[in-house]
């Protein structure tokens, strides 16, 4: 049995710098940093773990993230935080009523759950007691302190390794995205490129340069589709009803799309006809063009929205590879 909770980690890599590597990171204020995404994952390899204790583990991993000033959610990251538990000792106390007493060694790992590469680990010993084994197990897990210095160090080390992953594989990530572009899989290509965190400054900039032309192709294709639908809707009646239907399609056209001018011409034609029919102004406006200063920022934001939408539509469950981690 396995469960997973998606944790979006807004990376804050205190003190991490690189002066020798060409693919170095530039760290600024917290709001300047992008997100590193880690999935909290409980492996079915953990033997004898009660279901309620599993939920407790997931909750603790969420708290560990929050203790690092992190929060939010995202789906199916390749990077995971996952635990293993070893029962060191269990006793039944000579009390009335008798109590089950557990001593557990809980080891947390951070790594690449797709490639199966372990980045970092740390172990804690916790004790708990309860009127049955499950309650004793949960009592012990409750003793895990998310602010434990070893756990904080684990997360920091994991973050560094994740940043190194992006820095070392940046060109490969871009080539993969461009291959998807060639297959007309624009959303997936954008999802891959916008997944690079801003904290990986050089790779992030390269990825955003690469995502711009892919996003342009996507909005150009979508513009033609929406414009055709709008034209067909309008031609079906050329009345107020068909005008409103056409507007529902024109509203999706991005100002930077190649057919935006054609969309504007159709909008004017419809507006003139509506005024002729009803002696009123047509209450519709196309999305407005961005000024030159904001074009790159707006493109990145729009591309990220596409990436997020694509990610949210992916399967909610991923099989991770933790073989050999413990």
Structural fold of domain 4-168: Double Stranded RNA Binding Domain (3.30.160)
Report if pTM > 0.85: no
> In terms of residues, how long is the chain?
326
Q: What is the rounded CA–CA span in Å between residue 52 and residue 39? A: 19
Q: Residue 69's pLDDT is what?
A: 52
- Characterize the bridge pairing of strands 79-92 and 35-41: parallel
127-131, 175-179, 230-234, 316-320: least confidently modelled range: 316-320
Among 290, 282, 289, residue whose Cα is nearest residue 266: 282
Q: Residue 35's pLDDT is what?
A: 63
Q: Residue 200's pLDDT is what?
A: 86
Contact (CB, 8 A) for 11 and 34: yes
pLDDT tier at 19 (50, 70, 90 boundaries)? very low
- Tokens at 9, concatenated: 């980690």
Between 20 and 162, where is the model more confident?
A: 162
Q: What is the rounded CA–CA span in Å between residue 221 and residue 104? A: 57
One DSSP character per residue, 151-179 reads HHHHHHHHHHHHHHHHHHTHHHHHHHHHH
Which of 9-23, 137-151, 297-311 tops mean pLDDT?
137-151
Between 302 and 289, where is the model more confident?
A: 302
Q: In the chain, what are the domain boundaries?
A: 4-168, 171-312
Q: Return the percentage of the chain with pLDDT > 90, whole number.
A: 51
Q: Residue 259's pLDDT is what?
A: 96
pLDDT tens readout for residues 133-154: 999 999 999 999 999 999 999 9
Which of 130-144, 192-206, 268-282 tops mean pLDDT?
130-144
- Tokens at 35, concatenated: 């997100």
Query: In 183-200, which residue ranges form alpha helices assigned H by DSSP?
Result: 186-194
**pLDDT mean over 57-64:** 86
């Amino acid at each position: 049995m396995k469960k997973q909770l998606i944790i979006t980690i807004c990376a804050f890599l205190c003190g991490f710098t690189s002066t020798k590597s060409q693919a170095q990171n530039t760290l600024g204020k917290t709001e300047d940093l992008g997100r590193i995404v880690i999935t909290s994952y409980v492996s079915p390899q953990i033997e004898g773990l009660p279901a309620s204790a599993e939920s407790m583990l997931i909750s603790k991993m969420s708290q560990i993230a929050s203790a690092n000033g992190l929060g939010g959610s995202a789906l199916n990251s390749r990077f995971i935080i996952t635990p293993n538990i070893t029962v060191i000792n269990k006793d039944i106390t000579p009390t009335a009523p008798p109590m089950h007493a557990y001593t557990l060694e809980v080891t947390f790992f951070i790594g690449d759950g797709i490639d199966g590469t372990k980045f970092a680990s740390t172990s804690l010993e916790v004790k708990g007691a309860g009127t049955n084994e499950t309650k004793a197990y949960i009592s012990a897990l409750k003793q895990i302190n998310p602010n434990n210095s070893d756990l904080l160090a684990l997360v920091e080390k994991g973050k560094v390794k994740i940043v190194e992953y992006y820095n070392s594989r940046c060109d490969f990530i871009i080539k993969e995205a461009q291959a998807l572009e060639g297959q007309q899989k624009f959303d997936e290509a954008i999802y891959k490129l916008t997944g690079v965190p801003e904290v990986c400054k050089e790779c992030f900039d390269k990825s955003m340069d690469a995502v711009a032309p892919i996003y342009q192709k996507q909005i150009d294709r979508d513009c033609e589709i929406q414009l055709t639908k709008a034209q067909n809707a309008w031609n079906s009646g050329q009345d107020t009803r068909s005008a409103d239907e056409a507007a529902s399609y024109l509203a999706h056209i991005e100002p930077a799309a190649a057919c935006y001018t054609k969309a504007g011409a159709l909008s004017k034609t419809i507006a003139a006809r509506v005024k002729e029919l009803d002696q009123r102004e047509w209450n519709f406006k196309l999305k407005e063009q961005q000024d030159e200063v904001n074009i790159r920022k707006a493109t990145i934001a729009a591309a990220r929205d596409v990436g997020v939408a694509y990610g949210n539509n992916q399967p909610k469950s991923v099989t991770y590879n933790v073989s050999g981690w413990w």
